[in-house]
Structure 1
Amino acid sequence: MVFDYTNGFHDAANAIATSVSTRALTPRVALLMAAAGNFIGTHFGGKVAQTVGSGIIDVPQTMSGLGVVFAGVIGGILWNLVTWYFGLPSSSTHALIGGLVGAALGAGYTVKWDGILDKVVIPMVASPLAGFVAGFLFMLALMWIFRTGRPSKLNRGFRYAQTVSAAAMSIGHGLQDAAKTIGVIVLALYVGGYQDTTTDIPQWTYWTSATVLALGTYAGGWRIIRTLGRKIIDLGPPEGFAAETVASTLLFTFGIGLGAPISTTHTITSAIMGVGATKKLSAVRWGVAGNIVGAWLLTFPGAGLLAALCYFATRPLFA
Structure 2
Amino acid sequence: MEPAFIGLVAIVVLALAFDFINGFHDTANAIATSVATKVLTPAQAIAMSAVLNVVGALMGTAVAKTISKDIIPQEYATLELVGAALVSAIVWNLYTWWKGLPSSSSHALIFSLVGAGVAAGGWGIIIPKGVKKTLTGLVTSPALGFVVPIVLMGLLSWLALRWMRPRTVTRTFRWAQILSAAFMAFSHGGNDAQKTMGIVTFALSAYYNQKYDLVPLWVVLSAAGAMGLGTAVGGWRIIKTMGFKVVDLKPVDGFVAETSAALIIHTASTLGVPVSTTHTISTAIMGVGTTKGFKKVKWQVAGRIVTAWITTIPICIALGWLVYKVIQLVGA
Please tell me the TM-score bracket, short chain as reference: over 0.9
For residues 291-302 of structure 1, what are the structure 2 equivalents within 5 Å? 291-302=304-315
Tell me: CA distance 1:230–1:292, structure 2 relative to 1, closer, same or farther (3 Å): same
Check if 1:10 corresponds to 2:25: yes
Letter in 1 for 2:210: D
Q: What root-mean-square deviation, in Å, do the aligned CA atoms of Structure 1 and Structure 2 show?
A: 1.3
Aligned to 1:156: 171
Letter in 2 for 1:101: V
Render the CA deviation track for 1:54-75: whole Å, top value 9, x for unaligned.
011136467xx21011100111
CA distance in 1, matches of 2:136, 2:76: 30
Check if 1:309 corresponds to 2:317: no
Render the CA deviation track for 1:253-284: whole Å, top value 9, x for unaligned.
1111x110000001101111111111111111
For residues 79-118 of structure 1, what are the structure 2 equivalents within 5 Å? 79-109=92-122, 110-117=125-132
Aligned to 2:10: none
Check if 1:240 corresponds to 2:254: yes
Matched-pair contact (CA < 8 Å) for 1:42–1:175: yes
CA distance in 1, matches of 2:331, 2:66: 25
Check if 1:179 corresponds to 2:194: yes
For residues 197-208 of structure 1, what are the structure 2 equivalents within 5 Å? 197-208=211-222
Render the CA deviation track for 1:70-95: whole Å, top value 9, x for unaligned.
10011110010010011000000100
Check if 1:277 corresponds to 2:290: yes
Q: Name the SS for the 2:150 alignment partner.
A: helix
CA distance in 2, matches of 1:316, 1:281: 52
Check if 1:45 corresponds to 2:70: no
Tell me: CA distance 1:86–1:147, structure 2 relative to 1, closer, same or farther (3 Å): same
CA distance in 2, matches of 1:90, 1:211: 22
Aligned to 2:144: 130
Aligned to 1:189: 204
CA distance in 1, matches of 2:298, 2:201: 41
Aligned equivalent of 1:266, options 279, 286, 291: 279
For residues 64-79 of structure 1, what are the structure 2 equivalents within 5 Å? 65-79=78-92
Q: Name the SS for the 2:323 alignment partner.
A: helix
Tell me: CA distance 1:186–1:307, structure 2 relative to 1, closer, same or farther (3 Å): same
Letter in 2 for 1:219: V
Aligned to 2:45: 30
Matched-pair contact (CA < 8 Å) for 1:66–1:318: no
Instruction: Give aligned pairs, total.
Output: 314
Matched-pair contact (CA < 8 Å) for 2:68–2:74: no
CA distance in 1, matches of 2:212, 2:290: 43
Instruction: Give the drift of 1:316.
Output: 4.5
Instruction: Give the drift of 1:301.
Output: 1.3
Unaligned runs of 5+ in 2: 1-15
Matched-pair contact (CA < 8 Å) for 2:74–2:202: no
Q: Name the SS for the 1:159 alignment partner.
A: helix
Matched-pair contact (CA < 8 Å) for 1:45–1:178: no
Instruction: Give the drift of 1:198.
Output: 3.0
Render the CA deviation track for 1:96-134: whole Å, top value 9, x for unaligned.
0011001111122511122211x2011110111111110
Matched-pair contact (CA < 8 Å) for 1:78–1:303: no
Aligned equivalent of 1:218, options 229, 232, 243: 232
Q: Name the SS for the 1:57 alignment partner.
A: coil
Aligned to 1:170: 185
CA distance in 2, matches of 1:260, 1:303: 19
Q: TM-score, normalised by structure 2?
A: 0.92
Aligned equivalent of 1:230, options 231, 240, 244: 244
Matched-pair contact (CA < 8 Å) for 1:61–1:192: no
CA distance in 1, matches of 2:119, 2:287: 39
CA distance in 1, matches of 2:328, 2:296: 50
CA distance in 2, matches of 1:316, 1:208: 32
Q: TM-score, normalised by structure 1?
A: 0.95
Q: Name the SS for the 1:53 alignment partner.
A: helix
Tell me: CA distance 1:44–1:317, structure 2 relative to 1, closer, same or farther (3 Å): farther
